[in-house]
Amino acid sequence: MQRIHSQEDFQEAQRFIPGGVNSPVRAFKSVGGTPVFIKEGKGAYLYDVDGNRYVDYVQSWGPLIFGHRDETIENAVIDAVKHGLSFGAPTEAETELAKDVVELFESIEKIRFVSSGTEAVMSAIRLARGFTGRDDIVKFEGCYHGHSDSLLVSAGSGAATFGTPSSPGVPADFTKHTLLAKYNDIESVKKCFADSDNIACVIIEPIAGNMGLVPAEKEFLKELRELCDANGALLIFDEVMSGFRATLRGAETITGVTPDIVTLGKVIGGGMPVGAFGGRAEIMNMLSPEGPVYQAGTLSGNPVAMAAGNAAISKLKQNSRVIDVLEKRAQRLMEGMSEAASKHGIPCQTTVRGSMFGFFFNENPVKNFDDAAKSDAELFAKFHTAMLEEGYYFACSLYETGFISTAITDQIIEDTIAAFEKVFGVLSGK
C-alpha cells in the first residue's frame, strides 16, 4: 500500500504546524511511520490522499456512531448552514437538544453546552468548587479529562498524593489542588480524603477510554459515591467518550451509581465540536447568569453543531436497539481477536462496553493504568502497522479505545477477524 502523498503532506505540514499535527496522537509516534492524511470518509470507510481505503474503527475518536456522512446528520448540517454559521445568541435548537439529554439522563436536570470536552470538564470542576466552596479535586491515573492545567498531572509511584505538573507550562500552583488516586482502588481514594478536608469533587471516567477501555468496577463506584456523600464532595462522571456510546442513558444505568454532574461530548455533536455538562438543578443554578459561577463561550450552542447533535440523538432515540446491535458486533470482533491471538500464542485481553471495544497485548486482566502500562507496546505498534496495510484503521495508541458504527456490518467484522488471523500469524512467526 503506497502512501507517497501522505508522506509529502506530512513533511509540508511540519513546516507550519508543530509536529505536523493539531493533536499529538495523530503523529503516529507511538506506532511509527507516517500518519495517514485523510481525504474523505463515507460510511464505514476512510479514504486517504493516495486513494487507499480503510475500515475505520476510530470514527473520529467516537462521535460518528452512524458512520461517516450519515445522510440524516449531513442534511441537518447543510440546512443549518443555509441559515447562518453562528449567531452568538439563543436558538431553539439548543433547547431541543437540552430537552433530549435531560430526558435520557436521570441525573441531569439542567445542562449547558460548550465547544469541547476539555471545556466541559474545566467548567464542571469550577462549578463543583463554586457549589462546595472547596478547592481540591481528586482524579485517577489513566483517566484523561482534557488538557486544562489542573488536570495535567502525574502520580509517580501511583500512590494517592498531591499532583505535580506533567507538562511544561503548567505551574505547580495550578496542580497543587489536584490529588491523584488509582483507578478501581478505593483505598487510594480514602487516602486522598484523609490527606485533605477541602475536596470539592472526585472526577472519573466510569468507563475509562484513555488508558484503553477499562471500565470501573460497580462496587468501586458504589464506594466512591458513599465516600463523596460522607465527605460532602460532588461526584463527576466524565462521559465525554462513553456518553451515548456505552449506553443510551448514561453509565449510571449500568453501574447503579448516580453522579452529581456529568460531562458529555462526542456523539452529542454528531461529528461537530460540542461538549456539555449537566447535573441537578440546585448545582447547575450556580452558573452565571443565574448564579455566581462564571462560564461563557461565543460558540457555545453553535447552531450548526446543535443541528448535528439533534439529528444524532434523535436518530438514536428512534432506534433504541442500535447500541445493543453494535455491542453484539463489538463482542464478535473481540471474540474473534481473542481466538486468533490465542491460536498464535499471543496474550490478549479484550473488553466491550456498548459500541466501544478495547484490547491489550497483556498476560493479565487490566484494571488500572499500571496494568495497562505493562502491555506490549512494541507488539501493538507492529500490529497497528500490519492492520493498516491490510486496510484497517485502528487508533494509533495502545491507550485508546475503538468504536463500532452502524456502517460497520457483520461481514466487515468477519473480514476484520480474518485479517487478525493473518496478521497474528505473521507477528508470531507461525
Residues tagged active-site: 144, 238, 266
In angstroms, how far is CA 149 from the centroid of its own chain?
19
Cα 301 to chain centroid distance, Å, stands at 20
Q: Quick one: which of 236, 265, 207, 205 has its CA closest to 125?
A: 236
The long-range contacts involving 264-267, CB below 8 angstroms and separated by at least 24 positions, are 264/101, 264/111, 264/120, 264/239, 264/240, 265/63, 265/116, 265/117, 265/120, 265/240, 265/241, 266/61, 266/62, 266/63, 266/117, 266/240, 266/241, 267/62, 267/63, 267/65, 267/243, 267/312, 267/313, 267/316
Angstrom distance (rounded) from CA 187 to CA 178: 17
Grid cell locating 330: 463489538
293 vs 252: CA distance, rounded Å: 26
From the list 339, 348, 322, 338, the residue with the least C-alpha distance to 403 is: 322
